[in-house]
C-alpha cells in the first residue's frame, strides 16, 4: 500500500475529507446559526442586517460542502453509496432546504409587502434550523451505526429510522452550537440596539448548548458501546476531550469580557475538537455495522484505487493553498460592521 510520510493513502484521504467537512461545519455553521435566530429579531431592519452579515459569505462557504461531497465520492465511493441509501430521506430534505434557504436570502427583500417578507422570513428561519438539526442527525446516526449487511447493503428502515433518540440529541446539540456560533458572528457584524439584542440571545444560546451538550455526552457514555475503548488503548488521546471541554468553558468567559472575535475562535475550536473526537473514535471505520463488525464500511474496503488516491492527493497539495488564500481574501475584504445600501439583500 502506497504511503506518504509514513501514512497510507486511505488514511490521508480520511484526514482530507475530515478537514473539508470540519471547515464546512465551522464556516457554514455560523451562517446557519445566524439564520436560526432570524425570527427572534423583531424589526425588519434588524433582519435585513442579519441577512447581509452573511450575504457575501454564505454561498462561498458552501464551497466546502461541494468539495467535501466530491472528495467523499471520489475517495470512498462505497461509503458514499451506502450512506446515501441509509440517509436518503434526510439528504433529500437537506437539499430541498438548501434551495429554500438560498431563495429566501435572494427574494426576501425583493418586494416591500409585509406578507412577502414574512413568508420568506419564516422560510429562512425554518430552513436554517432544520438544516442544522439534520446535519447533527446524520452525525448521530454515523456514531450509532447502521444496519449494514453483506456487500455493504443497507438493511434498515427508510422513512423515520434516522430519527432515533440519540440522533435527535446530536441534532439538537448541533443546532445549539451553530446558534451560539451564529450569535457571536452577528455580534461582530452589528452595533446599537441590535447588538444589545444579540447579546441577550447569545446568553440563551450558550445555555441551550451547555444543556444539550451535557445530556448528549452523558447519553453517549452510557448507551453508545465502545465509545471509550480507543482512549483506553491510547491514553494520550484523552487530551482531545480535555481540549474540547476547555474550549467550551472559555467561550462564556470571553463573551462576558466582550471579546467576541476570540469567542468565535474558541467556538470554532470547540467544533473542531468535537469532530476530531468523532474521527478518532471511528477510525478506520467510516460507517459501523450494527449487524456484524465485518460488514462495517472502512477506509480500506471503501477506498478508490491507490493510483486514484495518489493523483487526488497531489491535487489537494496544489489546491489547498489556493482555497486558503481565497477565503483569507474574502473574509478580510468583508471584515467589519454591516452597512446597508441599494445593493443589499
- Under the banding of pLDDT at 50, 70 and 90, the label for residue 49 is very high
- Mean pLDDT confidence for 28-39: 93
**Contact 309/2 with Cβ under 8 angstroms?**
yes
Q: Is residue 340 part of a domain?
A: no
In three-state secondary structure terms, 27 is helix
Structure-derived torsion over alpha carbons of residues 104, 107, 110, 113, reported in degrees to the nearest 10: -60
Q: Is residue 19 part of a domain?
A: yes
Could you report the per-residue pLDDT of 184-205, keeping only the tens digit for each? 999 999 988 999 999 999 999 9
Question: What pTM, to 2 d.p., does this model score?
Answer: 0.93
Name the average pLDDT for the chain: 90
Could you report the per-residue pLDDT of 203-253, keeping only the tens digit for each? 999 999 999 999 999 999 888 887 888 888 888 888 988 999 999 999 999
**Segment holding 2, helix H or strand E:** none
Give how many domains the chain has, as a whole number: 1
Q: Is residue 237 part of a domain?
A: yes
Q: What are phi and psi of 90, to 5 degrees?
A: -65, -35
Q: How far is CA 158 from CA 85, 146, 163, 169, 311, in A?
A: 8, 11, 10, 20, 36
Nearest partner of 162 among 136, 137, 192, judged by Cα: 137
In three-state secondary structure terms, 289 is strand
Q: Is residue 238 part of a domain?
A: yes
Residue 223: give the domain boundaries: 7-334
- The answer to whether residue 98 scores a pLDDT higher than 90 is yes
Q: How far apart are CA 191 and CA 52, in angstroms?
A: 14
Q: Is residue 267 part of a domain?
A: yes
Model pLDDT, residue 326: 87
Interhelix angle 192-223/239-256, nearest 10 degrees: 160
- The answer to whether residue 56 scores a pLDDT higher than 90 is no
- The answer to whether residue 343 scores a pLDDT higher than 80 is no
- Mean pLDDT confidence for 67-93: 92
Match 468539495 to its residue by C-alpha cell.
67
E strands, the chain, where?
Answer: 3-4, 7-8, 285-287, 297-298
Q: Is residue 341 part of a domain?
A: no
Model pLDDT, residue 21: 92
Q: Is residue 266 part of a domain?
A: yes
Q: Hey, what's the cell of 331?
A: 473574509
Q: Is residue 130 part of a domain?
A: yes
- Mean pLDDT confidence for 96-102: 95
Model pLDDT, residue 197: 94
**Segment holding 259, helix H or strand E:** none
Amino acid at each position: 500500500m502506497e504511503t506518504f510520510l509514513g501514512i497510507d493513502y486511505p488514511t490521508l484521504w480520511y484526514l482530507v475529507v475530515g478537514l473539508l467537512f470540519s471547515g464546512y461545519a465551522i464556516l457554514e455553521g455560523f451562517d446557519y446559526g445566524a439564520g436560526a435566530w432570524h425570527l427572534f429579531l423583531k424589526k425588519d431592519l434588524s433582519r435585513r442586517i442579519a441577512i447581509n452579515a452573511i450575504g457575501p459569505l454564505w454561498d462561498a462557504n458552501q464551497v466546502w460542502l461541494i468539495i467535501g461531497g466530491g472528495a467523499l465520492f471520489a475517495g470512498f465511493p462505497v461509503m458514499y453509496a451506502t450512506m446515501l441509501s441509509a440517509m436518503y430521506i434526510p439528504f433529500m430534505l437537506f437539499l430541498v432546504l438548501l434551495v429554500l434557504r438560498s431563495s429566501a436570502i435572494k427574494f426576501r427583500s425583493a418586494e416591500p409587502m409585509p406578507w412577502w417578507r414574512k413568508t420568506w422570513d419564516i422560510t429562512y428561519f425554518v430552513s436554517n434550523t432544520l438544516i442544522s438539526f439534520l446535519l447533527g442527525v446524520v452525525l448521530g446516526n454515523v456514531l450509532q451505526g447502521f444496519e449494514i449487511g453483506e456487500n455493504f447493503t443497507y438493511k434498515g428502515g427508510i422513512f423515520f429510522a434516522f430519527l432515533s433518540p440519540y440522533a435527535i440529541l446530536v441534532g439538537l446539540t448541533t443546532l445549539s452550537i451553530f446558534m451560539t456560533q451564529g450569535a457571536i458572528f452577528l455580534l461582530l457584524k452589528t452595533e446599537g440596539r441590535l447588538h444589545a439584542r444579540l447579546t441577550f440571545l447569545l446568553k440563551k444560546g450558550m445555555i441551550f448548548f451547555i444543556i444539550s451538550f451535557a445530556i448528549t455526552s452523558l447519553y453517549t457514555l452510557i448507551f453508545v458501546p465502545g465509545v471509550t475503548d480507543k482512549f483506553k488503548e491510547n491514553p494520550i488521546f484523552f487530551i482531545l476531550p480535555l481540549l474540547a471541554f476547555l474550549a467550551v468553558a472559555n467561550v462564556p468567559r470571553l463573551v462576558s469580557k466582550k471579546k467576541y472575535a476570540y469567542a468565535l475562535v474558541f467556538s470554532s475550536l470547540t467544533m473542531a475538537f468535537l469532530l476530531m473526537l468523532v474521527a478518532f473514535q471511528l477510525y478506520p471505520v467510516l460507517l459501523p455495522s450494527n449487524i456484524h463488525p465485518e460488514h462495517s464500511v472502512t477506509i480500506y474496503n471503501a477506498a478508490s484505487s491507490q493510483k486514484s488516491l495518489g493523483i487526488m492527493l497531489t491535487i489537494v497539495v496544489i489546491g489547498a493553498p489556493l482555497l486558503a488564500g481565497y477565503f483569507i481574501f474574502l473574509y478580510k475584504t468583508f471584515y467589519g460592521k454591516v452597512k446597508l445600501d441599494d445593493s443589499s439583500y
